[in-house]
Amino acid sequence: MSTFYIKAIWIASNYASVFYCYFTALGLDVTAEDTTNHGRIDLTVKLEQRVFILEFKVVDQDTGKNSALEQIKEKAYHEKYRAEADELYLIGVEFNRKDRNIRPL
């Protein structure tokens, strides 16, 4: 495993922790590293009959595509909650390594 890969995981998990703390402080039902049969969802937030699936990625440059959202779709993370939720929201959040900020869409 490369140093870059380990550092990217560490940075993404730090950002995810901020989201986790914020949602938890609001009293929402939050699950970090939510296991599915295709991998792990970085963060799942439940609010009544709505489920928000969040995936976090650290990127070096703007490629024009949202790899975090693509991962949610490719691995079908939302299928775990399809029967349970009335509404599913798939949210891919990318952080620019250089700017240390959320990458705009």
How many Å apart are CA 36 and CA 98, to the nearest integer?
A: 32
Residues 6-11 have a mean pLDDT of 44
pTM equals 0.79
Rounded-to-integer distance, Cα 94 and Cα 8, Å: 11
Question: Total domain count for the chain?
Answer: 1
Structural domain boundaries, residue 54:
3-102
- What is d(CA 7, CA 105) in angstroms, rounded to the nearest whole number? 24
Type of residue found at 51: V
What pLDDT does 99 receive?
Answer: 65
- For every residue of 33-87, DSSP letters joined together read EEEETTEEEEEEEEETTEEEEEEEEEESS--SS-HHHHHHHHTTGGGGGTTT-SE
CATH number at residue 84: 3.40.1350.10
Write the pLDDT tens digit of every residue in 71-105: 999 999 999 999 989 999 999 888 776 666 565 55
